[in-house]
Amino acid sequence: MTPLLLAPLGLAALAALIVPLLIHLHRRTEEVPVDFAALRWLDILTRPRSRIRFEEWLLLALRLLLVALLGLLLARPALPGLDGDAPRVLVAPGIDPAAATAAAGPEADLRWIAPGFPALEAATPPARVTVSSLIRQFDAELPAGAPLTILVPPVLEGVDAEPLHLTRTVTWRIVGRGTPGPGPAPFAAPTLAVRHAPGGEAPLRYLRAAAAAWSGSSHITAGAGRDLPPRDQVLVWLVPGPVPAAVTDWVSEGGTALLGEAAEVAMPAATAALWRDARGDTLVEGAPLGAGQVMRFTRPLRPAAMPELLAPDFAATLRDLVTPPAPPPARVAAAAFAPVAGADPYPLPPRDLAPWLTLLIALTFLAERWLATRQHRFAA
Amino acid sequence: MARAPLTIPPEVRSRLKRLSLVPRRMAGTRGFGMHASRSKGAGLEFAQYRAYEPGDEPRRIDWKLFSRSDKFFVREAEEESPLAVWILIDASGSMAQADRARPDWSRLDAAKLLALCIADVALMQGDRFGWMVLHENGLRLAEPHRGRGQFERLQLELARLEGTGTFPAAATLAPLWERVGARDLVIFLSDCFDESGIALIERLAKAGREVLAIQLLTVEERDFPFEGGFRFREQESGAELVSDGAALRETFLARFAAAGKALDERLDAAGIRHAAVVLDEPVDRPLHVLFGRGTVPT
C-alpha cells in the first residue's frame, strides 16, 4: 500500500518552494529610515547581521504547503490497486437471485455478471450479456489471491468461442436446473423487391427460383415501376441507365439494394468484391452506403454471362449476400465450460490520487487567501 | 504659519516656583543689594513714595508733592536688576530629532519649553532675559528686557521656530559677542553634539560669562531600542549608515557613554555647569538640577 509517483520528475516543481521563502524573506531586508544625530558614535564596521528571518510564519507555512502540494500533483501520486482479498461471488444471468443467495451464503458479496458488476440485490437480472468477456475482466481487475466463485446455470448463454483461461482457480458452481432462455429467432428469409425495365423480366426467373428455395412461400415481388419497397425488403434494381437519386437516398437511410449490371451508379470508394467465381473474377461488388448497403452485379444476369445463376448454391449465396450475418453460437453447457487457471496475472492499474489532492490544494488555497487578506494584516 | 503660542503645562509651572536663577558669582558691583530682591533706589522706573528720612538726598524729594501735602516724600524708583539671562537655543537639524515612539516631541520642542520655563522664572524674579536662536541662516536675537511683553514675544518667536540646517558658522555668531554682557548668565540649550557649539560656550565661559549647558537627549540615544535593519541618517551632514540595530547597540551605548563622560569633563574644565535631560523625563528636570533647592522631579 505504499503510495507511488507516476511521474517522479514532477517533483522538480518543488524547486518553486523557494518562491514563498523569498517573498517572506524579502521584507526582512527593508531598511527603516530613521533620523539619528548621534551617528558618529555608531560603528561603521558593523555589517548588517545576516540573520535569516521570516515573517508571518503561518502564512509562509501555508504557502509552502500549497506549492508542495502543486509539485506533488505534477508528480501524479497514486496508490497501487486495492480492494482487499475478500471472496467474491459472480452470478451469471439466468440464475434465480434467491437460489444464488442460498448457494453462496447470506453474507457473500454477490454480483451479477453484467457491465459494472452490480450487486445482486441492487439490480435486476441483466439481459443478454457477453458473459465470458465480463468474467475475464472481473478476474483481471481482481487482486491476485482473492478467491472467486462463479455461479452459473446448467446452460450458459452469451459465451464466446474461447475457453475461459483465468489468472486464478475459480470455484465453478452450477446452480439450479436451468431454464434456457428463448432460442435465437428463427431465420427469416429476405424478401426481394425487383424493379426492372419493361421487357426485362428475363432475370426474374433465377431470382424467383432462389427466393422459392429460401422458403416455400413467395418472397419476391416484381414490377416495372419505380416505386421503392419498405426498407426491410431487398431492392433488386435491374433498370438500365442512371440510378435515380431516390434509390441512393433510400439505401443511405438503411436499405439494402442489389443493382443490375446495367445500372449506372457511382459506387462508394470502399467498394470490394463480395462474390467471386471459381476463377476469381468478381461477380458481385458492394460497400456500405450511409446506413445501408449497396451491391452491384458485374455481369448481366444471363447464364451465358454468369453460369453461377444455374449453380445449386446460387440461392444460398444470394441469401448470404442480402442478409446480415447470423449471430455466432453463444450457448454452452456450463459443465463443459469450467475455467482453467494459469493465465498471467495483470498488473492492477494504480489508483490516481489527483482528485483528492486537487481538493486539498483548493482548501489550502482558500485558507491561504483568507489568511493573506485579513483586515488587521494591513492595519499594522 | 499660525500656531498657538507655546505655553507651560500647569504641573511644570507649579514646580517652577521652587527655582531661582542665581549666578554662581554674585555681582556686587552694579547697584546694591541682591539682584534677586526688588531693591528700590535710584532708577528710571517709579516704584513708590516713602517718607523722607534724614540722610536722603534733598534732590530726591518730590517737591510738587510737598507743595500739596506739606510733607517730604522721596520718590523711589525700581532698581535695575543687574542680572541678564541669555537663552541660547540651538536650532540646527539635529534638534528636530524625535523618538519614533513619540514623533511629536522633538528635542527642539523640549528646548522651546525649557526656554519658556527659564523666561518664566526670570519673569518671576524680575530679571531681564533675552534669547538667541542659533540657526544656520543667521542669528535671531532679542535684547534682554524685563516684563510680560518680553515673555510673550518669546512665545511668538518659539512658535515659528524650526530645526533645520547645520550649526551656524563662527562668522554668523559674531553679533553674539557684542550683546552678551560681561557678567550675564548664558543658558545653552542644545544636544551638544556639535563641536562648534561646545567651542562657543567654552569661549563664552573663558570670556567671563557664566555659562550653563543643558543637553537634550532622545530616548533612542539613551536606550538604542533598534531591532532589525535600519538606515541611520544624520540630519545635518546627510551621512547614512545601514546596519542592524541589535548589532550596533553594545558598541554604541559604550561609545556614547564615553562621549558623554568626555563632554562632562570638558565642560567641568571650562567651568560650565551642565545638566542633561532625556525626552521621556520631565522637561524642567535640568533646571531643578541647576537652580533647584533640593528635590528634582523624576
Residue found under cell 435491374: A238
CA B255 to chain centroid, in Å, comes to: 28
Tens digits of per-residue pLDDT, B148-193? 899 999 999 998 888 888 888 888 888 888 888 877 889 999 999 9
> Is the domain of A200 the same as that of A288?
yes
Using alpha carbons, select from B223, B224, B156, B154 the residue that is nearest to residue B189. B154
Of B233, B239, B247, the CB nearest to A46: B247
Does residue A41 lie in a domain region? no
How far, in Å, are A31, A46, A49, A142, A380 from residue B244 at the CA level?
9, 8, 6, 66, 22
Residue closest to B279 by CA, chosen among B14, B102, B134, B16: B102
Q: Inform me whether the C-beta atom of residue B17 falls under 8 Å from chain A C-beta atoms.
A: no
pLDDT top residue among B25 and B260: B260
In a domain, A224, yes or no: yes
In the predicted structure, residue A39 carries a pLDDT above the cut 60: yes
State which residue of chain B sits closest to A52, comparing Cα positions: B228
Residue range B50-54: average pLDDT? 87
Q: Which amino acid is at A13?
A: A
- B230 CB near a chain A CB, below 8 Å? yes
Rounded to the nearest angstrom, the minimum Cα separation between B222 and chain A is: 10
Q: Which of B37, B207, B6, B13 is nearest to B113 (CA)?
A: B6
Q: Do B252 and A43 touch (CB under 8 A)?
A: yes
- Residue B120: the pLDDT is 92
Q: Is residue A185 part of a domain?
A: no
pLDDT at residue B78 in the model: 61
Per the model's pLDDT, the better-predicted residue between B3 and B20 turns out to be B20
Place of cell 534682554: B144
- Mean pLDDT score, B74-100: 83
Distance from CA of A38 to the nearest CA of B (A): 7
Nearest to B132 by CA among B144, B122, B147: B144
> Phi/psi at A49 (nearest 5 deg)?
-65, 125
> Closest Cα to residue A173, out of A53, A369, A334?
A334
The pTM for the full model equals 0.50
Same domain, A298 and A209: yes
The reported pLDDT for the residue numbered B32 is 45
A299 and A201 within one domain: yes
Phi, psi of A252 (to 5 degrees): -60, -30
Asked if the model's pLDDT at residue A10 lies above 90, the reply is no
Three-state secondary structure string covering chain B: CCCCCCCCCHHHHHHHCCCCCCCCCCCCCCCCCCCCCCCEECCCEEEEEEECCCCCCHHHECHHHHHHHCCCEEEEEECCCCCEEEEEEECCHHHHCEECCEEEEEHHHHHHHHHHHHHHHHHHHCCEEEEEEEECCEEEEEEEECCHHHHHHHHHHHHCCCCCCCCCCCCCCHHHHHHCCCCCEEEEEECCCCHHHHHHHHHHHHCCCEEEEEEEECHHHHHCCCCCEEEEECCCCCCEEEEEHHHHHHHHHHHHHHHHHHHHHHHHHCCCEEEEEECCCCCCHHHHHHHCCCCCCC
List, in order of start, the domains of chain B with CATH numbers. 10-25+82-291 (3.40.50.410), 38-79 (no CATH)
On whether both A109 and A172 belong to a single domain, the answer is: yes
Q: Is A45 on the interface with B (CB under 8 A)?
A: no
The mean pLDDT of A64-78, rounded to a whole number, is 91
Scan for cell 532679542, then name that residue: B142
Q: Do A32 and B231 touch (CB under 8 A)?
A: yes
Mean pLDDT computed over B74-78: 75
Q: Is residue A48 situated within a structural domain?
A: no
Contact B232 A48 (CB under 8 A): no
- Give the one of B228, B246, B259 whose C-beta lies nearest to A41's C-beta: B259
Number of Cβ pairs closer than 8 Å across A and B? 86
The answer to whether B252 contacts A40, with C-beta atoms less than 8 Å apart, is: no
Residue among B229, B252, B256 whose CB faces A48 most closely: B229
Q: Is residue A355 part of a domain?
A: yes
pLDDT at A200: 78
On chain B, the residues whose CB falls within 8 A of the CB of A49 are 244, 246-247
DSSP A90-154: EE-TTS-HHHHHHHH-TTSEEEESSTT--BTTTSPPP-S--HHHHHHHHHHHSPTT--EEEEE-S
Q: In this structure, is residue A163 part of a structural domain?
A: yes
Which of the residue ranges A48-52, A69-73, A198-202, A224-228 has the most confident prediction, judged by mean pLDDT?
A: A69-73
- What is residue A220's predicted lDDT score, i.e. its pLDDT? 81
CB–CB contact B241 A42 (8 Å): yes
Smallest Cβ distance to B233: which of A33, A41, A43? A33
**pLDDT tens, A193-230?**
888 888 777 888 888 888 888 876 667 888 877 788 88
Q: Which chain A residue has its CA at the smallest distance from B107's CA?
A: A37
A36 neighbourhood in chain B, CB within 8 Å: 97, 220-221, 232-234
Does A46 contact B242 at a Cβ distance shorter than 8 Å?
Answer: no
Please tell me which residue of chain B has the smallest CA distance to A34: B232
Where does the pLDDT of residue B261 fall: very low under 50, low under 70, confident under 90, or very high at 90 and above?
A: very high
Q: Is the pLDDT of residue B277 over 50?
A: yes
User: How close, in Å, is residue B287 to chain A by CA atoms?
Assistant: 24
Say if residue A187's pLDDT is above 70: no
Residue A166 resides in a domain? yes
Say yes or no: A34 contacts chain B, CB-CB below 8 A: yes
**How close is the nearest chain A Cα to the Cα of B278, in Å?**
14
Residue A219 and residue A151 share a domain: no
Q: Is A39 on the interface with B (CB under 8 A)?
A: yes
Identify the closest residue of chain B to A30 by CA–CA distance.
Answer: B229
A48 CA: distance to closest CA in chain B (Å): 4
Q: Which residue has the higher pLDDT, A290 or B35?
A: A290
A97, A62: one domain? no
Instruction: State how far the Cα of A259 lies from the Cα of A88, in Å rounded to an integer.
Output: 56
A218 and A318 both lie in a single domain: yes
What per-residue confidence (pLDDT) applies to B152?
A: 92
More confident residue, A226 or A36: A36
Residue B106's DSSP bridge partners are B98
Give the DSSP H/E element, type plus range, for residue A67: helix A57-74
- Is it the case that residue B43 has pLDDT exceeding 60? no
- Would you call B164 an interface residue with chain A, using a CB distance cutoff of 8 Å? no
Please give the residue range of the domain that contains residue A140. 88-178+331-341
**Spatial distance between the Cα atoms of B158 and B117, rounded to a whole number of angstroms:** 12
Cβ-proximal residues to A324 (8 Å cutoff; 6+ apart), any chain: none
pLDDT value, residue A26:
61
- The mean pLDDT value of chain A amounts to 83
> Is A46 domain-assigned?
no
Which helix (DSSP H) or strand (DSSP E) does residue A340 occupy?
strand A340-341
The CA distance from A336 to A156, in Å, is 10
Min Cα separation A55/chain B (Å): 12
Whether B221 and chain A come into contact, CB under 8 Å, resolves to yes
Whether residues A199 and A298 share a domain: the answer is yes
Percentage of chain A with pLDDT > 90? 8
Mind listing the pLDDT tens digit for each residue in B102-126?
888 999 999 999 999 999 998 888 8
Comparing CB atoms, the residue among A29, A37, A39 nearest residue B241 is: A39
Question: Cβ of A42 and B100 within 8 Å?
Answer: no
Smallest CA–CA separation between B98 and chain A, in Å? 8
What's the confidence (pLDDT) of residue B259?
Answer: 93
Q: What is the mean pLDDT of residues A18-45?
A: 79
Residue A178 has pLDDT above 80, yes or no: no
According to DSSP, the residues that pair with B41 across neighbouring strands are: B77
Q: What is the mean pLDDT of residues B49-73?
A: 88
- Helix or strand (DSSP H, E) at A88: strand A88-91
Looking at the structure, do residues A279 and A362 belong to the same domain, yes or no?
no
Q: Rounded to a whole number, what is the largest CA-CA distance in chain B?
A: 86
Which pLDDT does position B80 carry in this prediction? 60
**Residue A367 pLDDT grade (very low, low, confident, very high; cuts 50, 70, 90):** very high
Q: Is A27 on the interface with B (CB under 8 A)?
A: no
Clarify whether residues A297 and A231 are in a common domain: yes
Among B235, B249, B252, B261, pick the best mutation site for testing chain A contact (most A Cβ within 10 A): B252
Domains held by chain A: number: 3
Q: Do B193 and A46 touch (CB under 8 A)?
A: no
Share the mean pLDDT of chain B: 84
- pLDDT surpassing 80 at residue A284: yes
**How far are the Cα atoms of A58, A377, A378, B5, B20 from residue A62, in angstroms, in the given order?**
6, 16, 19, 55, 67
Task: Write out the E strands in A158-214.
Answer: 165-166, 171-174, 192-195
* The three cell numbers locating residue B124: 518671576
pLDDT band at A186 (very low <50, low <70, confident <90, very high): low
Most confident of A50-64, A114-128, A249-263, A353-367: A353-367
Quickly tell me which residue has 535569516 as its cell: A52
Q: Is the same domain home to A222 and A309? A: yes
Q: How far is A42 from chain B (nearest CA, A)?
A: 5
CA distance B253 to A322: 110
Quickly count: other Cβ atoms within 10 Å of residue B151's Cβ: 16
Q: Name the minimum distance, in Å, from the CA of A57 to any CA of chain B.
A: 17
State whether residue B236 sits within 8 Å of chain A by CB: yes
**Residue-level pLDDT at B198:** 92
Asked whether the predicted pLDDT for residue B298 surpasses 70, the reply is yes
Asked if the Cβ–Cβ distance from A35 to B233 is below 8 Å, we say yes
Q: What is the mean pLDDT of residues A266-279?
A: 86
The candidate with the shortest Cα–Cα distance to A214, out of A326, A325, A323, A327, is: A323
At residue B30, the pLDDT reads 47
Q: Give me the pLDDT at residue A247, please.
A: 87
Give the containing element (helix H, strand E) for A157.
Answer: strand A155-157
For B192-248, write each residue's pLDDT tens digit: 998 889 999 999 999 888 899 999 999 999 999 888 778 888 888 888 888 878 888
Cβ–Cβ gap B233/A48 under 8 Å = no
Q: Which residue of B has its CA nearest to A53?
A: B228
With an 8 Å Cβ cutoff, are B100 and A34 in contact?
yes
Q: Which segments within A12-68 are labelled E, that is strand?
A: 32-35
The answer on A265 and A317 residing in a single domain is yes
Residue B260, pLDDT score: 93
- What is the gyration radius of the CA atoms in chain B, in angstroms? 23
Instruction: Report percent pLDDT > 90 for chain B.
Output: 35
Q: B59: pLDDT confidence band, cut at 50, 70 and 90? A: confident
Q: Is A332 helix (H, G, I), strand (E, B) or coil?
A: strand
